Amino acid sequence: MNEKNDFALILKRSNAVEKAVPGAKRILLRIITDTLALAKKEHLAQSGAKFKVGDFEIDGEMITLVGKLANLHVKDGITTFEQLAEIVKKEMPSIWNQTKFYQRFVWNVIADMNGFREVSRDEATAIFAALEQPATKADVKLTDED
């Protein structure tokens, strides 16, 4: 083996800089482990896998769907959970009830990352209830054609 390609990656302490060193035969196990874990997470999300956490069944596909929708609209400028809930109800009415469980979770992750206000379970429930109230005459906008 010549000196130019006699490099292998080795496992270092978590706070050390990882680099290739001559003659090492070990591979960075952390990179392989992280890659496999990421591949597994991607597969779970893409396959719509459901899994149990305590008594709750979590739907990976629903988390992914609500997360992508929320992220898209945050980039468009929404800053509150109320805005997200209104959008989800409008854009996904056929699965509105299934998404409620995941909306608060997804929002609170996004809120934490962006400095927005997180919402409690009670606040989310109140927002959902308000959105499900039938429109009153004051809520309905009349046009000139009416």
For the chain, give every domain's residue range: 3-41, 48-132
- C-alpha 42/C-alpha 60 separation (Å) is 10
Burial class (CB in 10 A: 0-12, 13-18, 19+), 49: middle
**pLDDT given at position 62:** 84
Buried b (16+ CB within 10 A) or exposed e, 115-131: ebeebeeeebeebbeee
Distance of CA 95 to the CA centre of its chain: 17
pTM passes above 0.75: no
The pLDDT assigned to 23 comes to 45
Report the chain (146 residues): mean pLDDT per 10 consecutive residues.
Answer: 53 56 48 62 61 76 86 91 93 89 90 92 95 71 52
Predicted pLDDT of residue 92: 86
What integer pLDDT is reported at residue 123 of this predicted model? 96
Q: Identify the pLDDT of residue 107.
A: 92
Q: Where are the alpha helices (DSSP H) in the chain?
A: 29-47, 60-75, 81-91, 96-114, 121-132
pLDDT at 84 (0 to 100): 93
